[in-house]
């Protein structure tokens, strides 16, 4: 994330003023290992390093636990400590660790430099200097970047008055249709990686999330595992509110009922490749917790040490550590979204990593009319891959501030969480889909799906199509799906359709193509049948939700399509 007014990913919002006291100079290395031999961890005992939800996600998607999942050999980490370093983060996917070494070790000529000592160890593949600088204790001072905006009067459920200042971005995606159908992110876990989340622990807009215990965990991968993520920079707060805000009449986000895990991976004080390894460690932690989605409004191309900067040829999805790890994250069953970057006007124009990774759903920015924002970065990648994949509102977006008010901002940083929240609702709707199937679906629903553009990818997805389209797995008419059936289907005009399910109690709802609920009933006692009212000719969605949490959607045709 470029520190020039944080221009890469969040234009138009003022930087906070940071003052910090220098503690000591340290050197920070990435140490990659040759193998995982001799590790106490075994594939036969995955519960020792992966949580129950992570294992359930793999089982649901048919993903086997393999050698990439095994943690770094703890004996190797102890050997690094014996050489006088502190292990800050480690990566099982890339099989390495970040080592912090005090400057005294480097200054004493009688001591062989750390890189030479460690590089000679038989299990070390390479030692790379990531950053040499200072360890800071941040002391943050925020400017008031927000302005007061009036509340709306809530008069229409899931209308503009309901969403308040969050309406434009969800309406552009027609995402309120999923909310109307009851999919607001319930049960989904979204991991957010950014540079800080001040105010998330206090502002009223996300109070329901805190009260209901849906802020599951936080962790700082920049300073230390114990530090407070609710500080340093508001960029994460702005992004987070676009998903998690749940204040009808004032501001409602795209996944207001989801659960969240917050990770600080970005150091706003400098720009170096160490931040990529911070993100890798965070993504692996989120994987172990069983997170469904990782959304990141950060990206990298130019570094303070220009020898580490990327070229256009490096944007192949496999060169940058962050891009490689993002691909592994998707192979573990997680959906990864990343902002495309704001260098659409730069020379040379370029994406940022990891938006170049083929498995990542990269998100560009449009204005309220659907036109591409000129700052929105685009591909193709070095391999010819079309990027960004999809677009969302990223210009003059109203978002929340750490003091509980509002501000407008521009950037693909804002478009990405808007899309991430909607993807959570979509996955909640169809939990058995894989990340690839989810991404294929939203590309198919994009405004440029038939002729994808290198500037806008597949365009702006229409999420209302989730209620009817086959790509996301709604059952074909007349098909018995998971113990739920409709008869007759298709049905002649004026017919009464019976819904049957194999569980009781169950709730039966009928929606039209705009996502409006037309009918609601509950099975009673041992009854597993509900007769629908007479419906006009058209296409409908029948939702059957069981008490234990399972849900089925079927397409109903009245009078022929």
Comparing 3-7, 459-463, 514-518, the range with the smallest average pLDDT is 3-7
CA dist., res. 475 & res. 459, Å (int): 26
Q: Is the pLDDT of residue 350 over 80?
A: yes
In 3D space, the residue among 174, 157, 146 whose CA is nearest the CA of residue 249 turns out to be: 157
Question: Within the chain, which residue ranges are assigned CATH 2.60.40.10?
Answer: 474-558
Q: Is the pLDDT of residue 279 over 70?
A: yes
Q: What is the pLDDT of residue 23?
A: 47
Q: What is the pLDDT of residue 142?
A: 28
Q: How far is CA 183 from the centre of its chain?
A: 17
Cα Rg of the chain, angstroms:
25
Q: What is the pLDDT of residue 24?
A: 59
Q: What is the mean pLDDT of residues 471-498?
A: 65
Cα–Cα separations (whole angstroms), residue 209 to 203, 220, 261 = 11, 20, 11
CA dist., res. 108 & res. 100, Å (int): 17
Q: What is the mean pLDDT of residues 373-387?
A: 93
Comparing 86-90, 101-105, 404-408, the range with the smallest average pLDDT is 101-105
Q: What is the pLDDT of residue 474?
A: 41
Question: Within the chain, which residue ranges are assigned CATH 3.40.50.200?
Answer: 160-466
Q: What is the mean pLDDT of residues 292-320?
A: 94
Q: Is the pLDDT of residue 480 over 80?
A: no
CA dist., res. 188 & res. 246, Å (int): 16
Q: What is the pLDDT of residue 504?
A: 74
Is the separation of the CB atoms in 341 and 377 below 8 Å?
A: yes
Which pair of tokens denotes residue 544?
Answer: 């059957």
Q: What is the pLDDT of residue 377?
A: 96
The CATH class that applies to domain 474-558 reads: mainly beta
Which pair of tokens denotes residue 295?
Answer: 């959304």
Give the residue, 533 or 10, on which the prediction is more confident. 533
Judged by phi (left if over 0) then psi (alpha if -120 to 50, else beta), residue 187 lies in left
Strands 259-264 and 189-194: parallel
The model's confidence at residue 405, banded by pLDDT at 50, 70 and 90, is confident
* CATH architecture of the domain with range 160-466: 3-Layer(aba) Sandwich (3.40)
Query: Highest-confidence range of 103-117, 410-424, 511-525, by mean pLDDT?
Result: 410-424
Cα–Cα separations (whole angstroms), residue 407 to 2, 238, 404 = 22, 9, 10
Q: Is the pLDDT of residue 535 over 50?
A: yes
Q: What is the pLDDT of residue 439?
A: 94
Share of residues in the chain with pLDDT > 90 (%): 59
* Secondary structure (3-state) at 391: strand
Cα–Cα separations (whole angstroms), residue 203 to 167, 245, 362 = 19, 10, 29
Q: Is the pLDDT of residue 561 over 50?
A: no
Q: What is the mean pLDDT of residues 385-391?
A: 95
Give the residue, 392 or 401, on which the prediction is more confident. 392
Residue with tokens 């989801």: 258
Query: Highest-confidence range of 16-30, 303-317, 326-340, by mean pLDDT?
Result: 326-340
Q: Is the pLDDT of residue 47 over 80?
A: yes
In 3D space, the residue among 322, 248, 316 whose CA is nearest the CA of residue 284 turns out to be: 322
* Secondary structure (3-state) at 189: strand
User: What's the whole-model pTM score?
Assistant: 0.82
Encode 77-141 in three state secondary structure. Answer: HHHHHHCCEEEEEEECCCCEEEEEEEHHHHHCCCCCCHHHHHHCCCCEEEEEEEEEEEEEEEEEE
* Tens-place pLDDT, residues 355-372: 999 999 999 999 999 999
Which residues contact residue 422 at a Cβ distance below 8 angstroms, ignoring those fewer than 6 apart? Answer: 170, 173, 175, 178, 254, 255, 461, 463
Cα–Cα separations (whole angstroms), residue 535 to 118, 495, 507, 542 = 74, 8, 19, 12
* Tens-place pLDDT, residues 230-257: 988 899 999 999 999 999 989 999 999 9
CA dist., res. 400 & res. 426, Å (int): 24
Q: Is the pLDDT of residue 177 over 60?
A: yes
* Secondary structure (3-state) at 286: helix
Secondary structure (DSSP) of 532-548: PPP--SEEEEEEEEETT
* Tens-place pLDDT, residues 2-32: 554 343 344 443 333 333 334 457 889 999 9
The mean pLDDT value of the chain amounts to 85
Q: What is the pLDDT of residue 107?
A: 57
Q: What is the pLDDT of residue 8?
A: 38
Q: Is the pLDDT of residue 451 over 80?
A: yes
Q: What is the pLDDT of residue 470?
A: 46
Q: What is the pLDDT of residue 1?
A: 58
């Amino acid at each position: 994330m470029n520190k020039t007014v944080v221009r890469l990913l969040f234009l138009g919002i003022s930087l906070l003023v940071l003052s910090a006291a220098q503690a000591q100079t340290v050197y920070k290395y990435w140490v990659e290992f040759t193998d995982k031999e001799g590790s106490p961890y075994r594939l036969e005992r995955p519960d020792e390093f992966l949580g129950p939800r992570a294992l359930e996600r793999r089982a649901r998607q048919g993903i086997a636990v393999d050698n990439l999942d095994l943690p770094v050999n703890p004996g190797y980490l102890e050997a690094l400590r014996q050489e006088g370093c502190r292990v800050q983060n480690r990566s099982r996917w890339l099989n390495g660790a970040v080592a912090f070494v005090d400057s005294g070790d480097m200054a004493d000529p009688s001591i062989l430099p750390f890189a030479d000592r460690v590089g000679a160890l038989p299990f070390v593949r390479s030692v790379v200097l990531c950053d040499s600088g200072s360890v800071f204790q941040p002391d943050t001072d925020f400017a008031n970047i927000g302005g007061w905006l009036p509340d709306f009067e809530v008069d229409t459920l899931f209308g503009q008055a309901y969403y308040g200042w969050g309406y434009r971005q969800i309406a552009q995606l027609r995402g309120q249709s999923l909310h109307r159908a009851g999919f607001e992110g319930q049960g989904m876990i979204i991991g957010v990686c950014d540079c800080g989340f001040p105010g998330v622990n206090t502002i009223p807009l996300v109070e329901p999330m805190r009260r209901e215990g849906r802020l599951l965990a936080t962790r700082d991968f920049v300073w230390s595992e114990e530090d407070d993520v609710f500080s340093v920079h508001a960029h994460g707060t702005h992004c987070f509110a676009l998903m998690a805000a749940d204040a009808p009449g004032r501001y409602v986000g795209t996944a207001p009922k989801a659960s969240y895990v917050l990770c600080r991976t970005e150091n706003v004080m400098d720009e170096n490749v160490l931040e990529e390894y911070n993100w890798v460690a965070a993504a692996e932690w989120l994987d172990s917790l069983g997170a469904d989605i990782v959304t990141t409004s950060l990206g990298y191309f130019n570094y303070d040490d220009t020898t580490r900067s990327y070229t256009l040829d490096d944007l192949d999805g496999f060169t940058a550590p962050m891009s490689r790890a993002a691909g592994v994250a998707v192979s573990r069953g997680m959906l990864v979204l990343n902002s495309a970057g704001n260098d659409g006007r730069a020379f040379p124009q370029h994406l940022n990593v990891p938006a170049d990774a083929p498995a990542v759903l990269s998100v560009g920015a449009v204005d309220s009319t659907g036109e591409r924002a000129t700052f929105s970065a685009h591909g193709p990648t070095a391999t010819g891959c079309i990027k960004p994949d999809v677009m969302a509102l990223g210009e003059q977006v109203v978002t929340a501030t750490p003091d509980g008010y509002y501000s407008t901002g521009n950037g693909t940083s804002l478009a990405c969480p808007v899309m991430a929240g909607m993807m959570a609702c979509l996955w909640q709707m169809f939990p058995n889909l894989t990340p690839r199937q989810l991404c294929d679906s939203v590309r198919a629903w994009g405004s440029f799906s038939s002729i994808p553009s290198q500037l806008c990818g597949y365009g702006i997805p229409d999420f209302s199509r989730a209620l009817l389209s086959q790509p996301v797995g709604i059952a074909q008419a007349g098909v018995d799906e998971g113990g739920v059936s409709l008869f007759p289907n298709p049905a002649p005009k004026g017919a009464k359709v019976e819904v049957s399910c194999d569980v009781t109690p169950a709730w039966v709802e009928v929606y039209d193509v705009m996502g409006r609920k037309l009918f609601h009933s509950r099975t009673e006692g041992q009854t597993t049948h509900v007769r629908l009212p007479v419906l006009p000719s058209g296409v409908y969605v029948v939702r059957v939700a069981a008490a234990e949490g399972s849900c089925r959607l079927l397409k109903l045709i009245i009078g022929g399509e």
